[in-house]
Amino acid sequence: MKLPFSILLDPILRPYLGRTRVFCENPTFLFSIPYTYFYSVIGFFISANHLRRHLGEQPSLNTPTEALDDLEQDFMLVHDLKIIATSMALVQYACVLAGCFTENPALFLPHLGGQMIIVLVKLINILLLLSRINLKSLCKLRRKIPAVILMTFNWLQEFCVFRKHLCICDL
């Protein structure tokens, strides 16, 4: 079975299959399959809880009627974006779970791609914060750096599971 986008993934992955195997055999990544099960189950339930919470949200009605229309439009836009993002996260975690159960590496691709984009955006954000070093930006960095490290660690764990389920015939 070929991976989706195998034409794009083959030149990127095939030359580095040996190196990634050695990297994933590191003791840090020996328990990547149970860790990915745990991580995806927790992410699935958190996303389902967020979706349940966002589906029942209503705007607060403590403002005058003139500003209510603008506030309601802004609220509905943010509300809809939250529902879309949470639904996408729910689907991604469901794909990771199904990929773990079926050992199908193609099901890891949506979450790997999405998480890689998020990690890159957060790294760019950190670099922008470093460009203007002051006390306020240092406080923000103190909160952002551990989150980026954890997200990168989770991504590497999931990539090692993807790599373990990947065979040469998939590329």
pLDDT for 89-118, tens place per residue?
Answer: 899 899 999 988 988 888 888 888 888 888
**How far is Cα 56 from Cα 94, in angstroms, rounded to an integer?**
23
Judge whether residue 127 has pLDDT over 70: yes
pLDDT tens for 49-72 read 988 888 876 665 555 555 556 666
End-to-end CA distance of the chain: give it in Å, rounded: 9
Its pTM stands at 0.76
Closest CA to 129 of 117, 141, 121, 145: 141
